Amino acid sequence: MRLLTRLFQRFLVFCLGAISIWLIVFVVFDTADHRLPWLFAVCLTYGLAAYVILPNVVRVGLKVLHRGLIPRYTITADGLPGDPINFVLIGTIQQLKDAFAAAGWYEADSLGMASSLRMTRAFLLNSAYPTAPFSTFYLFGRRQDIGFQEPIDGSPRKRHHIRFWALSLTHSEDDMGEPSFWLNTERPSPDERVLWVGAGTRDTGLSLTRLTFQITHATDSDTNAERDYIVNELKERCVIGEVALHQSGSRLVTGKVNHYITDGEIAFANLTTSGATTSVPIAG
């Protein structure tokens, strides 16, 4: 029965894919090509396919295939698999900010029209923007609460970065392999000592998303190496305690998600006050 259910799910996803291809090729492009010059028709078709049709098809497909499963990764605004979860720190928001400031990392600007335009300009000209905003990812039913980054060679195209979501310590009693941990949507008080659940990756340049071909940062596939890099950065500044590795949510049958390779282990540590500083890096 389980095999039949799985085959039926995959058949539904195949049908969704086939319908989307037909819609893109024989409806969107055919209509645009008859009314617009060829170049504009291609651009319009790409925009609708990459940012409207395919994201919605993939979102529905993921709901069919991953219904009820415990996530190991964040979700993009289009419902696609995002960065794998590989970090949990315990402490207050100020301790978190102080820890990354001590390590020489910058807090990311909020994503908005002005910051997006500045990021686009910096990316095209390869000019420094150490507090560049992050795209919006989701976990626990909401966008990231805060993010930090460390530019590589002063370039906005390459950077170490991590997003964090706050989760009340009352949920620390739940095992990370249980749905109750991952499906909680409550946002704790900003002054509370909480779990900071994070997803850290290293940007390496410009790329297209694998399923919808949207323009995005290219990332290093080895998120285990990035996790270890961030751990070492924080340990060298003595701003975290002993680090333990915990397994994240189970039942995700593949270890490769959206170009990423992960062992599924999460670095888990307490933030400390020793070695931390209230100063922040100055943008150059």
Q: Distance between CA atoms of 121 and 127, rounded to whole angstroms?
A: 8
Per-residue pLDDT tens digits for 115-162: 888 988 887 888 899 999 988 888 887 889 999 999 998 888 899 999
Kindly list the domain boundaries of the chain, sorted by start residue: 2-65, 73-270
Report DSSP state, residue 259: T
Q: What pLDDT shows up at residue 160?
A: 95
Give the mean model confidence (pLDDT) for residues 275-279.
Answer: 42
Per-residue pLDDT tens digits for 207-263: 666 655 556 667 788 889 999 999 999 999 999 999 988 776 543 333 344 456 667
Asked whether 16 and 22 are in contact (CB, 8 A), the reply is no
Q: Helices (DSSP H) in 66-154: which residue ranges?
A: 93-102, 113-125
| Mean of pLDDT over the chain | 76
At residue 89 the predicted structure's pLDDT band, cuts being 50, 70 and 90, is very high
Percent of the residues in the chain that have a pLDDT greater than 90, as a whole number: 25
Predicted structure pTM score = 0.69
Residue 122 CA neighbour count, 13 Å, CB half? 20
Q: Would the pLDDT of 273 be above 80?
A: no
Collect all residues with Cβ–Cβ distance below 8 Å to 200 and sequence separation of at least 6.
83, 86, 87, 160, 161, 162, 163, 223, 226, 227, 230
Q: Helices (DSSP H) in 23-135: which residue ranges?
A: 30-35, 38-48, 54-65, 93-102, 113-125
The residue that leads in pLDDT, 183 or 142, is: 142
Dihedral in degrees, nearest 10, Cα atoms 125, 130, 135, 136: -160
Q: Would the pLDDT of 175 be above 70?
A: no
Q: Distance between CA atoms of 279 and 282, rounded to whole angstroms?
A: 9
Q: Would the pLDDT of 96 be above 80?
A: yes
Q: What pLDDT shows up at residue 255?
A: 38
Which helix (H) or strand (E) segment holds residue 196: the answer is: strand 194-208
Q: Would the pLDDT of 56 be above 70?
A: no
Beta bridge partners of 206: 217
Q: What pLDDT shows up at residue 169?
A: 81
